[in-house]
Amino acid sequence: MFKQDEQFAHELDQQDELKHFKNEFYINDNHIYMDGNSLGLMSKRAEQSLHNVTEAWKNYAIGGWMSGDHPWFYLSEDLGKRIAPLVGGKPEEVIVTGSTTTNLHQLVSSFYQPEEGRTKILADELNFPSDIYALQSQLKLHGYDPDEHLVRVKSRDGRTIEEDDIIAAMTDDVALVILPTVLYRSGQLLNIEKLTKAAHERGIPIGFDGCHSVGVIPHNFHNAGVDFAYWCHYKYVNSGPGGVAGLFVHEKHFGKTPGLTGWFGSDKEKQFDMEHTFTPAEDAGAYQIGTPHVLSVAPLIGSLELFEEAGIENIREKSLHKTGYLMYLVEEFLGDYGFTIGNPKEDERRGGHVCLEHDEAASICKALKDYDVTPDFRSPNVIRLAPVAFYVTYHDVYRTVQILKEIMENKIYKKYKNERDVIA
């Protein structure tokens, strides 16, 4: 399927039907950016849409809420409709709002309904820390000890979580399940349909953190029956640092009053009545709390154009092919240097990045940066490399592995301390 020689990488690039999208992004031709799973690059479309929104502010002032190409009053709903195809939700089930963790707090406040004998929240021990902090604080707000009431499913190998182990932990005392779609270190893609079916058979609502999958993996949240999901847009969706996040709530829960209410969750026709009785929107818009962060959401307008043109299924196909190519090159060229591929190799279990484990991971990442390659380090020993479909070429993948080989062969990594910088 794959070949070792450099010419083969060039041939793959020539055959790539999505290759023209790299021209849409700001990146130096000599730089290889393998960290789109942490922060996506700026696209020219995102820059333009940000400019357009600031122009609307300049030209319309407060009139921008109802005037211009993208009236701010409806912007969160309009973008939710455009995000919906990426997550497999109905347009009314998706809203662009908040941040990942504030949306998690909102959703747990809404769906965690402890009762006698059923008080625990089920998560996993490999989850991203921010999710765990939020779950711990929600339990404390209900008067429960997180050490007792937050159940974290153990990993058998320190990298992945077995779905059967999660299902076995869905006991009668569990009131809510919160899981990642993709584990942030190893890149394991969980079987969302299987887990959702198992949770519902036991009468437990289930939600997913899609931060490491939305924009690189097609989802089917509605048909799978997922109760809710939440995610950021600044990774694979390229909306910019601190970009506004998104959430999904299945239509079967419409009419439920959110746990945390605020005026932008109001029915749009009632919002400016200024009554002290909250009339929630009849869809996912009810889960908004405060006024939209218009300037932070603006880049998403342009970024989504690229997804609409490329198609998420095509993006996933290319992502799988490129991560497969990267793993092949690692095994061919780096087999003698102590690297272990920590992500699942099966397509159906793999996200958008490759997890390389090495005892000197932090120092290797520093060496890569000095070779004009941007990787991503995760403690204690993980190098994450994301060959993003939009702007990382097959030749970039080939060059990255050859640079890694030079770093290891000449022991260049030994020049650096094997510890992370302030930001990894």
In a domain, 424, yes or no: no
Annotated binding site: 100-101, 128-131, 209, 212, 234, 263, 291
What was the pLDDT predicted at 166?
Answer: 98
What was the pLDDT predicted at 351?
Answer: 98
Same domain, 240 and 347: no
Mean pLDDT, to the nearest integer, of 213-225? 98
What was the pLDDT predicted at 415?
Answer: 95
In a domain, 275, yes or no: yes
What was the pLDDT predicted at 207?
Answer: 98
Same domain, 146 and 291: yes
Tally Cβ neighbours within 10 Å of residue 408.
20
Confidence of residue 420 (pLDDT cuts 50, 70, 90): confident
CATH of the domain at 351: 3.90.1150.10
Percent of the chain with pLDDT over 90: 97
Same domain, 273 and 354: no
pLDDT at 22 over 90: yes
In a domain, 36, yes or no: no
In a domain, 39, yes or no: no
Same domain, 335 and 384: yes
pLDDT at 240 over 90: yes
In a domain, 19, yes or no: yes
Same domain, 298 and 319: no
pLDDT at 223 over 80: yes
Last residue of a domain, one of 288, 308, 328: 308
In a domain, 42, yes or no: no
pLDDT digits (tens, 9 = 90+) for 157-173: 999 999 999 999 999 99
Mean pLDDT, to the nearest integer, of 4-18? 98
pLDDT at 47 over 90: yes
In a domain, 35, yes or no: no
Last residue of a domain, one of 260, 276, 308: 308
How far apart (Å, rounded) are the C-alpha atoms in residues 238 and 215?
9
What was the pLDDT predicted at 419?
Answer: 87
What was the pLDDT predicted at 161?
Answer: 98
Cβ neighbours of residue 261 under 8 Å, at least 6 residues apart? 278, 280, 289
Same domain, 111 and 222: yes
Number of domains in the chain: 2
* pTM passes above 0.95: yes
pLDDT digits (tens, 9 = 90+) for 344-372: 999 999 999 999 999 999 999 999 999 99
Same domain, 225 and 198: yes
What was the pLDDT predicted at 423?
Answer: 74
Same domain, 183 and 158: yes
Same domain, 302 and 316: no
- Mean of pLDDT over the chain: 97
Same domain, 299 and 381: no
Percent of the chain with pLDDT over 70: 100
What was the pLDDT predicted at 362?
Answer: 97
**In which domain, by residue range, is 240 found?**
48-308
Annotated binding site for pyridoxal 5'-phosphate: 100-101, 128-131, 209, 212, 234, 263, 291
In a domain, 249, yes or no: yes
How far apart (Å, rounded) are the C-alpha atoms in residues 217 and 180?
13
Same domain, 181 and 324: no
What was the pLDDT predicted at 1?
Answer: 85
CATH of the domain at 179: 3.40.640.10
Same domain, 299 and 350: no
Last residue of a domain, one of 308, 332, 364: 308
